[in-house]
Structure 1
Amino acid sequence: MKAWLVFPLAWFLCAQAPEPATVEGQAVSGASGEPLKKAHVMLLTTAEGGKPPYSAATDAAGKFLITGVDPGHYRLQVQRNGFVYGEYGARGPGRQGTVISLEPGGRLKDLLVRLTPQGVIAGRILDEDGDPVEAVSVQALRYQYVRGRRELVPGRSAMTNDLGEYRLHGLAPGQYYIAASTPGFRGRMGGVPSGPRRMAAAEGGYLPTFYPGTVRAASAAPVDIAPGSEIRSLSITLQRARTLRVSGRVVAPPGTLLRGVGVTLLPRDGNWSLQRKGGPVLDEKGSFDIGGVAPGSYLLAADIWQDRQRASARLPIEVADTNLEGLTLALSEGAEVSGRIRVENDAPADFARLRIWLEPAGDWRMMGSAGASSANSDGTFRLSNIGPDPFHVNVSGMPEGFYVKSVRVGQEPAPESGVDFSRAGGPLEILLSPASGQIDGAVVNPKQQPVTGATVVLAPERREHNRLFKTATTDPRGLFSLRGITPGNYKLFAWEDVEQGAYHDPEFLKPFETAGEKISIQENSRATVQ
């Protein structure tokens, strides 16, 4: 009798499992159309907290086949040496592509991914006498939008060899600014960098220098890279200027070893990718000495991890016309905070995939994240080793239809400027609501034809609230869906091609404001637009 009960049940469960899907296609060169063999293909789920990607390699004909795929929504990425990585449906190299929808038992065929040949920039870094300089960092930077601000963002980088030579590869087509910068940090625990040219780079008073030879980013000459192009003689002469030194000691709590403490000097103007200087302390006493510092406003930071515990120090400084000596960085242990996630009206919710993470606020983003914590089954959590910086509290892995309704620290709402947990008292309380809004729609061109791969952006009325932005990419039918929307007033925009993150910049959005469609999202509202 038991056997008759077990086997039919097993058959029933197997019958209910969705039939896996299959994806097949081809990778080719976007320049020549030739098939690309040995390319690495990845199929990545768009679901939060999803499983590892499916992968395959292309054959001699550039073709690939991925089987046993669970139904769902995915992105298809392809990578190969000598080419810029690409996504299926993307409008350019390195851009986000189209989401692929796979039904149970579905078979997507003839997916074509065109990869763009990489660009290369090479040359030499010289001093004012025309001699090569070793151990100089050379970066290819591009203007991008970072949290609503247009900034020079570093991409590929390389160090010069003993002949002053560098080579930057893997460059996507576009406009670059090439900059060379020296370490500016004298000495390291365990030894001093060797070689006269290397020491000249560290001690020579050189400022970060842009091609063709200027210290001002606004005066730099852009370098245009076409698909597959190679520029092999782009040289930069480092610009010497009167620079200063910043020195002092790191002081640690009892029991903390100073060997391995890292000291970093970061400019407060946001141009930290080039002027960031630092390294480990000089000795067991915690001495540090940073050279090549131009006048300006900086943040001096020290951090160390020992026995899974973090200790940090922060000191804002102004460098004027003299060296700063005798500074003290007093390390303090990272903060800990406990908290609880609640659901409005005690509605049932699965906390299994919830993660609470801290995002550095404003200009403090240069200090990096403070880690994350999973929620327990009862919604409680604990965040540890939090640095002395302001952070925004974020939640990921929420069940579909949920949004963060409020965040409180103790009895007070979390400030919009971020929470400094080294000073804030009381536990965190995060309130989730299952009553989010949803927008479904389609993007069509003037001929009423669906637009594939268009970027749809839902921008909040108060544009400084970056976490309230929602984005989607239209599928092959021009359809999109935005879910988990926090109730409020918004505008809906759509572009066939737009630089990622540009829509966070209020100045960028100004010319498009009249074209945006106003939408008011209420709790549990569902809107359909076109």
Structure 2
Amino acid sequence: MNKSVLLRLALLFSAAASGAGAAVVEGKVVDNRTGTPLARSRVLLMPVRGAASQISAYTDARGAFRMEAPAGAYALGAERPGYAFTWYGQRVWNGRGTPIVLDQDGRFGAEIRLHRLGAITGEIRDENGAGLWDFPVAVYHDTRPLQLAAQGKSDDRGVFRIAGLSPGRYLLRTGYQELGEEGGYLPTFYGGSIAAESAQSIEVQLDAEVEGLVLTPQTGHLLRLKGKVTFPGSNLVRLYGDVEALSSVVDNAGSFSFERLAPGSYYLAAESKISGDYVTAYQRLWLKSDLEDIQLEGAPAPLLQLRCRAPGGRPPGALPASVSLMRIVPAGESRAEQVRCGSSARLAPGTWRMRASTPAGFYLQALTLHGRPLNSPELEALPGEHLELEAAFSDKPATVEGKLLDANQQPVPEATIYLRAADSALQQRLAAAPSARTGADGSFLIRGLPPGRYLAAVSLDGGSEDEIDWNSPLLPTVQLEEGGKASITLSP
């Protein structure tokens, strides 16, 4: 036998050996609403654990795909432009899906249905109902601060269409357009409001299009804001609006100015740090005409002092607890601070959201500000204020244990169990829903809970607590006593 024949046989044997034991994953990718095969969709096979590499392929003209992979557990997903990425078996659009298990020499078939991303269609008209051509329009996530999601322009009829939107609530806003001496069309939210807080939100869903929206921009002039910083050391003034934060340099005379501002609500802030002194100025204003005499007067930055009350006569500083703070107002510039028991911190002016970090074996019993109960996780800090915050902890937390079983009384592993306090004041102190993952036997354990009544919910695909309908009357409840333990059996 000559060498060329031997070489060909060796290559054939090597190729056959490399495919030995490989599992096959095959199927189709189709449009969820119409069932139309989706050619050139990217299919992804990602190992759930281990060091194996992910495998990808593209569907053919019939929307079909075929991949080979070693035995193991995988997440199977697909994507295509204009559609939401979809994992096989997911129950909510951004969930993690259900892993598939491939046996050696096994075969797995699946149909993956992709959901088309949402869209918004509407018209931009003038005060007489005529369409406005080439008019800018933007879509923002209805969050604070607003986050730009997409933007576009109207056609010659004033019609616009913005696609590729994930499910959620949005605000729609026109841009500015100059009209000459009479001013211009002002940025206006859907619903006719200049300010975001009064705007009408729009809900977008997959496989759906929001139609028939009409925006009529208000007319008027862009405005000017001028003023002076009355304290030394500040070289920048910040102006926070609904959709952006602007800056103005402070000159040697302490003057600052902002031009071409849309009417609306703003926050104005300045600060300086000289020789360890933290001085701040902070004003909220409604701009409806030119302002040219704003005076920013400084005061010491708000001081937050945290005292912790621990059980058993422990010294307040001996408890390894802290409060984390995130500034949420004004929007557009996030700041974070962490204050430990027995310490203090200077804060930038604004509204801050708090979350207590509780050591193992304790729970947050109460939070007071200047001796009064603080049921909200938010506080406002203004220049010159001294905020006395006290956190009381208990060393008798409650515990919930249980199992998640399916209809056949078989354990359900790798699911997320969420708890939510039925009392709103207690839930606000928790800041987030306590949670745990079920083990291989379907069991779960959640520690460190304050006493009270809780709702329990199950997520099989890794969805967040915000995706759960906590108002459903079908949710089971569990009552916890201080230092007690309760058991509960849940079903998906």
User: Within the alignment, does 1:458 sit opposite 2:428 as a pair?
Assistant: no
Normalized against structure 1, the TM-score is what?
Answer: 0.57
Aligned mates of 1:340, 1:65 — CA distance in 2: 57
Relative to structure 1, the CA distance from residue 27 to residue 368 in structure 2 (aligned partners, 3 Å threshold; closer, same or farther) is farther
Partner residue, 2:21: none
Partner residue, 1:494: 457
Relative to structure 1, the CA distance from residue 427 to residue 224 in structure 2 (aligned partners, 3 Å threshold; closer, same or farther) is closer
* Preserved contact between residue 57 and residue 64 of structure 1 (Cα < 8 Å): no
Aligned mates of 1:152, 1:372 — CA distance in 2: 19
Partner residue, 1:188: none
Larger radius of gyration: 2
User: CA offset at residue 251 of structure 1?
Assistant: 1.4
Aligned mates of 2:318, 2:85 — CA distance in 1: 38
What one-letter code is carried by the residue in structure 2 that aligns with 1:520? L
Structure 1 alignment gaps of length 5 or more: 1-23, 45-52, 70-74, 101-108, 184-196, 266-271
Relative to structure 1, the CA distance from residue 356 to residue 177 in structure 2 (aligned partners, 3 Å threshold; closer, same or farther) is closer
* Preserved contact between residue 27 and residue 58 of structure 1 (Cα < 8 Å): no
Counting aligned pairs with the same residue, the percent is: 16
Partner residue, 1:59: 56
Pick aligned residue for 2:233 from 239, 255, 259: 255
Normalized against structure 2, the TM-score is what?
Answer: 0.60
Relative to structure 1, the CA distance from residue 249 to residue 235 in structure 2 (aligned partners, 3 Å threshold; closer, same or farther) is same
* Preserved contact between residue 305 and residue 343 of structure 2 (Cα < 8 Å): yes
Equivalent pairs, count: 430
Relative to structure 1, the CA distance from residue 427 to residue 291 in structure 2 (aligned partners, 3 Å threshold; closer, same or farther) is closer
Aligned mates of 1:246, 1:501 — CA distance in 2: 41
Aligned mates of 1:464, 1:111 — CA distance in 2: 47
Q: Where in structure 2 are the equivalents of 1:329-478 lying within 5 Å?
A: 329-330=296-297, 334-335=301-302, 337=304, 344-345=311-312, 346=314, 356-360=323-327, 364=329, 366=331, 369-373=334-338, 383-384=345-346, 386-396=347-357, 398=358, 400-407=360-367, 412=371, 415-417=374-376, 418-421=378-381, 422-425=383-386, 430=391, 432-442=393-403, 456-463=418-425, 465-468=427-430, 470-472=433-435
What one-letter code is carried by the residue in structure 2 that aligns with 1:470? A
Aligned mates of 2:310, 2:108 — CA distance in 1: 45
Partner residue, 2:138: 138
Deviations 1:470-509 (A, max 9, x none): 25487598957462443222232437799953779xxx73
Relative to structure 1, the CA distance from residue 152 to residue 340 in structure 2 (aligned partners, 3 Å threshold; closer, same or farther) is closer
SS in structure 2 of the partner of residue 180 of structure 1: strand
* Preserved contact between residue 299 and residue 384 of structure 2 (Cα < 8 Å): no
Partner residue, 1:156: 149
User: CA offset at residue 292 of structure 1?
Assistant: 3.4
SS in structure 2 of the partner of residue 440 of structure 1: strand
* Preserved contact between residue 392 and residue 419 of structure 1 (Cα < 8 Å): yes
Aligned mates of 2:188, 2:384 — CA distance in 1: 36
Deviations 1:27-60 (A, max 9, x none): 985735889648596979xxxxxxxx99964422
Structure 2 alignment gaps of length 5 or more: 1-23, 32-36, 58-64, 100-106
Relative to structure 1, the CA distance from residue 120 to residue 523 in structure 2 (aligned partners, 3 Å threshold; closer, same or farther) is same
* Preserved contact between residue 207 and residue 238 of structure 1 (Cα < 8 Å): no
Q: Where in structure 2 are the equivalents of 1:228-307 lying within 5 Å?
A: 238-241=216-219, 245=223, 247-251=225-229, 253-258=231-236, 261-265=237-241, 272=242, 276=243, 279-281=246-248, 284=251, 285-289=255-259, 291-293=261-263, 298=265, 300-302=267-269
Relative to structure 1, the CA distance from residue 173 to residue 456 in structure 2 (aligned partners, 3 Å threshold; closer, same or farther) is same
Deviations 1:85-137 (A, max 9, x none): 5567642212x44799xxxxxxxx98999764534557886766645356x45
SS in structure 2 of the partner of residue 466 of structure 1: helix
* Preserved contact between residue 156 and residue 168 of structure 1 (Cα < 8 Å): no
Larger relative contact order (C-alpha < 8 A, sep ≥ 6)? 1
* Preserved contact between residue 363 and residue 450 of structure 2 (Cα < 8 Å): no
What one-letter code is carried by the residue in structure 2 that aligns with 1:416? N
Aligned mates of 1:473, 1:234 — CA distance in 2: 44
User: CA offset at residue 407 of structure 1?
Assistant: 4.6
Relative to structure 1, the CA distance from residue 439 to residue 306 in structure 2 (aligned partners, 3 Å threshold; closer, same or farther) is same
User: CA offset at residue 156 of structure 1?
Assistant: 1.8
Partner residue, 1:528: 488
* Preserved contact between residue 226 and residue 258 of structure 2 (Cα < 8 Å): yes
Aligned mates of 1:401, 1:66 — CA distance in 2: 44
What one-letter code is carried by the residue in structure 1 that aligns with 2:166? A
* Preserved contact between residue 124 and residue 160 of structure 1 (Cα < 8 Å): no
* Preserved contact between residue 54 and residue 66 of structure 1 (Cα < 8 Å): no
